[in-house]
Structure 1
Amino acid sequence: MPDVDVDRRLRRYHRSWDPRHLWPEVSESAFLSATRQIADVTTVILTGSESRPRLDPDRDITHALPIAAFASGMGPLLGYWIESGTPTAPSDVARSLAVQLDHGRQRAARMRTELETVLGAFHQRGIQATVLKGMHTGWAYFPEPGTPPMADIDLLVEPLAVPAAHDALLNLGFTRGACLRERTTWIPSGSRIPVSLEMTHVDNPWDLDLHATLDRRMAETVPVSLGSVGPDDLHTWSVGPETAWVLSQPLLTAYLGVHVSSHFEATSLIRLVELALAIRRGVERRHLDWDALARRLRTTGSSAFAYPALELTEKLVPGILDSSLRALVRDDAPSAVRRLVDQSGPGTARRLHRHSLDSRLMWLATWRQRASWLWTRLWPHIGDEPMRPLEALRIQAERARRMLTGRMRWRRPG
C-alpha cells in the first residue's frame, strides 16, 4: 500500500515544484553533482573509454546518488551494469541500485502482461496497434527489459480505429483521462498514489497513452509532423501470443528525437541512452541510413525539432551522429533553441530545481504561436479542455508562487 507520507509529499511538490518536498534530505547541489557523475559514468560505459570505471560519489553526495539515479531514469540500468561488473561502486550505492534493478525487472514483466491483455482486446476487435517508445525499445535495444523504467504504455492506432480502441479499453476497466487531438490518456483501475518516490516500484501506478498519430505539439501550440506512416516504416513484433507493429529506422530515430525534444526541460538521461542505443544498433545492422533520416526530417519540416535530443545524445556519446546530419539539424534550429542546448549537458538538461520560461518559449517563432501559448497560460487546460474557473485560479496562484520563490525564472541558468 502507498505510504500516507508519499501522498502528502506529492501534494506539497505539485504546489511548489520544489524537489525538497519529495526528497528533503537531498540538496540541490548534491542532486546536480550526483546527476553529473551518473552522466559521466554513462558516457564512459557507452564509449568504452575505460575498462573498469567507478561510480564513486564523495560523502556529500552518496545519499543523493540513488535519488538522482531514479530521477534520471538510470537506476535499473546502473544496477545492471554494476551487477555485470562495470562500473564498480560502494556497497551501499550498489545495494540501492540493485533494488531499483529488481523492481525494474518485476515491473517490466508486469507491464508486458498488461500490454498482452490490451493487444488481445484490440485484436478481438480487428485493431492492429503499433507499440511505441519504452515498451518496444526496452526489449529491442536495452541489455534487458527491466533496465529502462516502465512508466506507461504507448500505442498507436489508425484514426478510424480509435473509437473501437476506446471501447476496448473501457471494457477492460480503464478510465479516460486527459484528451488531446493527438492522443488520449487511459487510466487503469487501482490507486494513483505511488508506492515509492525513490524508485520505479513494481506497484507504482501506470497509464496508457493511445495515439491516433505520431504528430505532436511543441509548447502545446506548435505542430510537428513526421509524415504519414507507410509499410516500410513498420515491422512486426511478437508480444507473447500477440503481435503488433513497431517503428523501423529511420522513423524510429526521428520519432524518439522529436519526442525527447518536446520535453526538453524534462529530458531524462535514460531517454538519451535509449536514443543512443537505437542509433547504434541501427548503424551496426545497416538499418539506419543517415541520408534517409535527413530526408525524413527535412521533408516533414521536423529537423529543428529533433535537434535538442540528437545534440544531447551526441554530447553523451561523442561521434555517434553522422556529422552532416548533426550540422543539418543544428542549422535548421532557431537560435534560441541552439543557445539553450549549448548551455545544457546530458546530465543537466533536466532542471528539477529551477525552471525557466525561455525553455518553454523556445519553439514559439510567431506572434500567433505566442498568443496561443499565452492563452493556455492565462486559462490553463487539461488536455485540450479549459479548466473550470476556480481550478484555473488555483493554478495561476501556484504559478505566481513559483515565480516569487525563484522556482520559475525568466532565463535558464547556464
Structure 2
Amino acid sequence: MSDVVVSPGFEKPEERLLLSLARPTVPVEDGPALRELLASHPRFDWAFFHDQAIRHRVTSIVARNIEIHGLPYPSAALRESFRANWIYNRQRNNALCEEADQILAGLHGAGIRPMVRKGQYLARALYPEPGLRPMSDLDLMVRENDIGAISSILRELGYAQGRVAPSLRTMQPLTRFDEIYWKMNASSQPPFVRLTSDQFVQAFVVDLRQGILEPASNRSVDVSEWFDRAVLVDPRLGMYAPGVEDFLIDICVHLHREATTLTAIEGRKDLWLLRFIDMLLLFGQEQLSPNSLAARTLHYGVAAEVGYALALFTQLYEHPGAAETLRALPAVSAEFLNQYGALDGEPAQWSADFRTRLFDNYRFLEPTATAKLVP
C-alpha cells in the first residue's frame, strides 16, 4: 500500500499523525517525515491523540506502527497504555476466532454455507496480524431459508436471542414487541448471545444478516449471486467470504448506514476511522477491479450508499482504485454527504463538514430527533 497517502486538508498535527499511523502498513520511507512532524510540534497533544485512537478503534494498529518506526512516546505510561490495548485486542480476538471456528464447523457439518462478513474475515485475512483489528461479534451473511436451521444450531451451542444487560452478567430476553419491531425494521435477525467467563470477551455475539439494505430504504438487494461468487477461505471450517467487490459493497453500505442513522450517532459509533481502514485494505487486493465494483454497484442500485462511502474515504486517503471507482459512479452531492436521519424518517443536515465531524467528540449532541431503527 505504498501508493496510499493521507489526503491534505487536516491542519492539526494530531489528526495527520493518526491518519498516517492508522494505515495497516506504513512505508519505511514515511518514518523521517513522521518523526519530523512530532519534533516540529513540541506541544503535540498526546492526550487528544490517544483519545481519538481509542474512539476510532485504531489503537492497536497505531501502537504497532509507532513501535515499528521507533517514534518516541512522551512517557512510559502512554506507551504502556497503547501496548496494553494491542495485547488486549490480540487476546480477545483469539477467543472470538476460536468461538467462530466452532460455530462455522457446526454449520459446515450441517451442510450450511454462510459468508463471513466484516471483522472476522478482515482481521484474519487482510490485517498484518489478527490482533490489530478489533472485533465485536461474528457477522454472517446467510440465505433466508437457512435462518431456521442456523438458529437451531446456535441454540444447541448455548446461544439465545436477546441483549446483554449493562452489568454484562445476565441476558435480557427480547419482548414480543422487540421481535416484531426487529422484523419490520431490519434485514438482520435479533442478535444471538452466549455469556462466557472469558475475561477478554464476557459475551459472544452472532449477527445473522440476510440483506444489506434496511426495509426503511424501500429497496432490497438480491445477494444470492454473492453466494455463488463466494471465496473459500478455510476448507477445514467451510469458511467462505464474499468476493472482494461484493465485500466492498457490503462494507460501504454498512458505513453509510452507521454514519447516518440516529441509533449509531447516539451510540457514538457513526464515524470510525477503522471502517475506512477496512476499505483501504480491500482496495489493496490485487483481484479487485474498480470497473467491476462500479458496475455491480450500479447493478444493485446502491450507487448512493457506495458513492457516499467512497467520497468520505477520498477525503482521508488518496488511492487510485477508490478514485477510479468514484469517477465511474453518479456524483454525490454535498447535501447528501452532510445528511443524516433519512432512514429514521427524520432527515437533517449536519452543521459541520465531514472532516470537522470526524474528530468532534460531541457531534452526537447535535441531532434532536429520536432514533427509530434497531441498533
Query: Structure 1 length normalisation: TM-score?
Result: 0.67
The amino acid of 1:268's aligned partner reads W
Which of 252, 265, 286 is matched with 1:257 structurally? 252
1:216 aligns with 2:218: no
Q: Distance in 1 between matches of 2:15 and 2:219?
A: 30
What is the rounded CA distance, in whole Å, between the counterparts of 1:382 and 1:293 in structure 2?
A: 29
Query: In the superposition, relative to structure 1, how do residues 101 and 381 fare at CA in structure 2: closer, same or farther (>3 Å)?
Result: closer
Summarize the Cα distance change of 1:124–1:41 in structure 2 as closer, same or farther, 3 Å threshold: closer
- Corresponding residue number in structure 2 for 1:183: 188
SS of equivalent to 1:126:
coil
Alignment of 1:156-171 (within 5 A): 156-171=141-156
By how many angstroms is 1:351 displaced? 4.8
Could you give the per-residue CA deviations for residues 143-193 of structure 1, whole angstroms, max 9, x where no partner exists? 1111011111101221111001111111111121364442121111248xx
Superposed displacement of residue 299, structure 1: 1.5
1:68-79 matches, within 5 Å, as: 68-79=52-63
Aligned amino acid, residue 344 of structure 1: F
Per the alignment, residue 406 of structure 1 pairs with: none
Q: Structure 2: which amino acid aligns with 1:51?
A: G
CA contact (8 A) 1:226 1:297 kept: no
Give 1:190-339 correspondences, 5 Å limit.
190=196, 202-203=200-201, 205-213=203-211, 215-217=212-214, 221-223=216-218, 225-230=220-225, 233-238=229-234, 241-264=236-259, 265=265, 266-281=270-285, 285=286, 287-329=287-329, 331=331, 333-339=332-338
From the superposition, tell whether residues 36 and 206 of structure 1 become closer, same or farther in structure 2 (CA, over 3 Å). farther
Match of 1:83 among 47, 67, 77: 67
Within 2, Cα distance between the matches of 1:382 and 1:255?
Answer: 18
Q: CA 1:234–1:43 in structure 2 vs 1: closer, same or farther (change >3 Å)?
A: closer
Residue in structure 1 matched with residue 45 of structure 2 by the alignment: 61
Q: Offset of 1:51 from its aligned partner?
A: 2.8
In structure 2, the residue matched to 1:94 is 79
Distance 1:224 1:138 in 2: 30
**Equivalent position SS for 1:162:** helix
In 2, are the aligned partners of 1:154 and 1:208 still within 8 Å (CA)?
A: yes
Choose 258-267 or 33-42, whichever is displaced more.
Answer: 33-42
1:188 partner SS: strand
* Deviation digits for residues 312-343 of structure 1 (CA, Å, limit 9, x no counterpart): 22222213435442234461x35522346992
Looking at structure 1, the residues matched to 24 and 109 of structure 2 have their Cα atoms a distance apart, in angstroms, of 47
**Counterpart Cα distance in 2 of 1:97 and 1:166:** 38
Gaps of 5+ in 2: 1-11, 163-177, 260-264, 340-349
Say which of 122, 127, 130 aligns to 2:115. 130
User: How many residues are paired up?
Assistant: 317
Is 1:38 equivalent to 2:18 in the alignment?
yes
Percent identity over paired residues = 18
C-alpha separation in 2, matches of 1:246 and 1:106: 23
Q: Distance in 2 between matches of 1:48 and 1:84?
A: 9
Tell me the distance in 2 between the aligned counterparts of 1:290 and 1:304.
Answer: 16
Q: Measure the CA separation in 2 of the matches of 1:260 and 1:174.
A: 27
Q: Which stretches in structure 1 are left out of the alignment for 5+ residues? A: 1-31, 196-200, 361-373, 384-414
Matching of residues 396-411 of structure 1 within 5 Å: none
Tell me the amino acid that sits aligned with residue 98 of structure 2: T
Q: Contact between 1:314 and 1:321, CA under 8 Å: does it hold in 2?
A: no
* Matches of 2:27 and 2:315, distance apart in 1: 11
CA distance, structure 1, for counterparts of residue 71 and residue 228 of structure 2: 39
CA–CA distance in 1 between the matches of 2:271 and 2:62?
18
- 1:248: Cα distance to partner? 1.0
